[in-house]
Amino acid sequence: MHCQMVWFKRDLRWQDHAALARAAATGPVRCIYIVEPGYWKQADAALQHFEFIRESLQALDAHLRSLGGCLEIHTGEAAEVLQRLHQETPFSAMYSHEETGNEWTYARDIQVKAWCQTQRIAWHEFPQFGVIRRLKNRNQWQAAWEQHMQTALAQPAAIHFAHAPSNLPLSMPAPAHLQHNPPLRQRGGRPLALAVLRSFLNSRSLGYRGGISSPLSAPDACSRLSAYLAYGCISMREVVQMTRACMAALPPQAARHKAGLNAFMSRLYWHCHFIQKLESEPAIEWHNMHRGYDALREQEFNTIYFEALKNAQTGWPMVDASVTMLRETGWLNFRMRAMLVSVAAYPLWLHWRRVGEWLATQFLDYEPGIHWSQLQMQSGTTGINITRVYNPIKQAQDHDPYGKFVRRWLPAMRTVPDSWLFEPWKMPDNVRQSSSNSTLTEHHIPAPLVDLTLATRAAKTRLHDRRKQEDVRAGKQAVIDKHASRKTFANRRSHTKNQRPNSAAQMGFDF
């Protein structure tokens, strides 16, 4: 009996799942997930990603079992696994979502497409976000995004499974080489995604505006949906429609609540805007978006600085506390992420690619399209965005004025007097050696790697000198035509066609 193969990748849900709905409407289905060894050997893979996916697959399998089926876990490279399954039980069509992933998944999908063609199997792919495959003109993107978000959710009326469910529980051992699984990370699964969304819409979004910048308030004020969206535990369309429904139901006096949700809606828009960049130009995972910035930093990568950054030893408390929180939780708010990349790109003068590989393993919510676009934007290599340099001392003064954040994550800072909180390396010896600060001898507080003011000034000068070159200026328009937003986002419904791209507005992306 021929069946329809549903291949789950980063779409680990059962509601608003277009591939599952379409396959179920066609005939008996077989649901699979493939653990691909090649994928998990990539430099951007981490154990926390694997474990989050496993937890999400367990929730998916439990739901499919409640309907009379199950999720099959297979190990091997995708084309080989599909060939084996096809020999065992022929299938006439395969259904999945359109994945905008790293270069490895891009190459894998090309191989799978070639295999499907040789076997005369129709491979039906469906959009996961408001991202348009084979987009010819960026001017068309906004209307397509809105149309996708307004379309009714894809719900299968019933699912007829090709096989009875296995009696064995879902088994998915992690590859032995994978590392880094933060003890305080979020757990995966659609039920948790829905709970997080509802708590945000009903209450936490009240603090969204004004609360997402500080690492103290951001863990509650931010939606915390980024990981669930990245692995498809919940669809972007669900989030958009539920948010708009919540806004419409709010009474007139709930202005603050509505403002928070409206600001959140803008971030959902920018989420897809950035992924579209990688979809339209997969090479930006590896190469500067504007090639006029090639060889700006690549040949001067300082490994000592990079290791100090990874080990939270830069000497700037706000930076080191952010790295530590990220290492322990797998999450950090956007402003602190931007600060980390800014410090790496400017005073430390590190190229974004190796920094990006490291951060990809640290972020539980690693989304390649957003990740590499943002790395380049923060590093100044897109050629179309204003230079954004985050001073880590000023960020601490603005967002952690009493040192609660840095003292939580950096034990050495707990007995540093308030007067030396932002620049502890300047403490006099008599303060450092006082009995009340005895922990300072137990926990080393490093001096900054470089003079922040001088190093940042030199970096900005080098970047701006490159930007002034005639050939670099001439190449800017091509990047704008392919990647720039065609709108600001003060209010999507009041948008006019003549509005110009707003680089500062793009910086507002945050969950």
Out of 92-96, 102-106, 487-491, least confident range: 487-491
Asked if 3-126 and 291-478 have one fold, the answer is: no
Burial of 219 (0-12, 13-18, 19+ CB in 10 A): middle
Q: Comparing 489 with 461, which gets the higher pLDDT?
A: 461
- Give me the phi and psi of 316, to 5 degrees please: -95, 110
Query: If pLDDT is split at 50, 70 and 90, which confidence band does 487 have?
Result: low
Q: Mention the CATH class of domain 291-478.
A: mainly alpha
d(CA 359, CA 353): 10
> 280: Cβ–Cβ under 8 A, 6 or more apart, which residues?
135, 138, 482, 483
pLDDT tens-digit series, residues 113-168: 999 999 999 999 999 999 999 999 999 999 999 999 999 999 988 999 999 998 98
142's tokens: 């906004």
Give the number of C-alpha atoms closer than 13 A to the C-alpha of residue 205, restricted to the C-beta side: 27
C-alpha 379: how far from chain center? 17
> What pTM does this model have?
0.94
pLDDT for position 436: 52
**pLDDT tens-digit series, residues 240-272:** 999 999 999 999 999 999 999 999 999 999 999
CATH of region 3-126, choose from 3.40.50.720, 3.40.50.620, 3.40.50.300, 3.90.1150.10:
3.40.50.620
Predicted confidence band at 444 (pLDDT cuts at 50, 70, 90)? confident
Copy the structure tokens of residue 428: 């006099």
DSSP 179-231: ----TTPPPP-HHHHHHHHHHHHHTGGGGHHHHSSSTTTHHHHS---HHHHHT
What is the predicted pLDDT for the residue at 442?
53
Per-residue pLDDT reduced to its tens digit, 204-221: 999 999 999 999 999 999
Task: Tell me if 133 sits within 8 A of 99, measured CB to CB.
Answer: no
Q: Are 11 and 128 in contact (CB under 8 A)?
A: yes
Query: CB within 8 A of 327, min separation 6: which ones?
Result: 180, 182, 312, 362
Instruction: Locate the domains of the chain by residue range.
Output: 3-126, 291-478
pLDDT, the chain, mean: 93
Residue 29 clears pLDDT 80, i.e. is over it: yes
Give the pLDDT mean for 25-36: 97
Could you tell me which residues come within 8 angstroms of residue 406 by beta carbon, excluding any fewer than 6 positions away?
A: 317, 318, 320, 321, 396, 400, 413, 421
Q: Is the pLDDT of residue 498 over 60?
A: no
Mean pLDDT of 77-96: 96
Task: Answer whether residue 25 shows pLDDT above 90.
Answer: yes
Model confidence at 18, pLDDT cuts 50, 70, 90, reads very high
Residue 373: which of 240, 282, 464 has the closest Cα?
282
Q: Give the closest residue to 182 by CA, choosing from 511, 409, 411, 509.
A: 409
CB within 8 Å of 112: residues ≥ 6 apart: 78, 79, 82, 123
